[in-house]
Structure 1
Amino acid sequence: MATATVKQSYTIPCSSVFRDAVLELAGKRGVNAADLARSVMLIVPEAAIEDYDDPGDPPPGDRETIVLKSGPAEGRPWRRKPRLQLRLPAGHSIIAVRKALNMALHFDLGEVKMRVEKADVLAAERLVLEEAHALKKRQNEPPVELLQSREELERLRAIVDNLAFEPLDRGVTTFNEALHVMGFAPSARPDIKSIRIKYRVLASIHHPDSNYGSHQRMTQLNAAMDLLRRHIA
């Protein structure tokens, strides 16, 4: 059974023109932006990508407006630098990913061409065979560190599941319900500083983008934060 590749979320700041061009190319190819970057990084030598032009960060004044979807400021508009959100295997730099996307655009425009020689093909074949052999060996003989990491991850997930609050059927409507969701004792009367500290810790756990995230818990956490803040104010 193959081991799943660990991916992480990449935020790639870029101009709105560059972002729109990447998204348009991805749509035309029926893929997403991460597929474009990954395709280039799979076939183009790393040194060639490093030497390629970087389109850079967005210029001054180039901003986009979004509406915040969670947190105390939920529903409010926010101006930020344009960006692309990609999920790729861990270990890449932001600049390398942006250069790879730039190369993908130039490939599509015919401004970049590749020459494949026999030596290159043989070297690529050898590399693929070596990687396949190494992967098979790792699968048959998983290192102790990997087994321990998996066990620790499962243990942490079990701890989070057992300690996390149970979402309330009717949502957060009372002060005591808000205390429950935020992890305070029923008799507690926390100040605003304690509430904010508790919120930041719990939000990092329950946010849908985290490994242990829950949209329902995050929604009720935001509601509890707003209710407690209004009560104290």
Structure 2
Amino acid sequence: MTVPDGLSCDAPDEPDTVLPSGRGLPCGARLAGAVRALAAAKRTDPSALALAALLLVPDGACDPGECDVDGRVTLPLRPVVTATDSAVRRALAAAVALADPAFRIVPAADVGRLEAAVETLGYRNKTLAHALKRLSFQPLDGRVTELRDAVQMFGFVNEWCFDEEQVRRRFRELAPVYHPDTGVVACRERMAQLIDARNLLVRHVRTVYGSGAWMEREPAR
């Protein structure tokens, strides 16, 4: 079977070897793998795909570059493919994307920028986690039963400077930090003691409000 220009659609016997008088196309390993898989599925070769896709490649399509996240390889092309390397890469990327809409090619320059951004965010996350760990309270021995420990754990000045809403708001701020599954400073023991402290402070607020002692002891504002 042939396509226009007399190019056979049968795949060459040695797809990883540059054919005589042909050339090697430098491209990303991921793109090359996808192109070979598509060519095999279509019972053709990368050169035939390139010729067909060059007629369809959209204007303004991005060149995926000579390498990608999986590295760089050389894809063999037959001599009938005379377009520039950039045009062929864009055509092959478009052909793969048409066959598999979920397939995405990221230009090498963008990959570098993304990797740098990820590295920066990772460093910042480690720095933040380290700072939180240094500032966070150390787990006490056993359960939290003393009011002074609960007050200190929640960062209040004394037992008369907060109400129930402030206790619950502070708990909502601290819980995501220590949650054992998703917390930045994940700690099951700290989380359990945080719950103990919240319950103790809420009971304290309700007791002093109910007894009328709150207004007697509350510092002048």
Q: Do these two structures clear the TM 0.5 threshold for a shared fold by scoring above it?
A: no
Bigger CA radius of gyration: 2
TM-score (ref. length: structure 1): 0.40
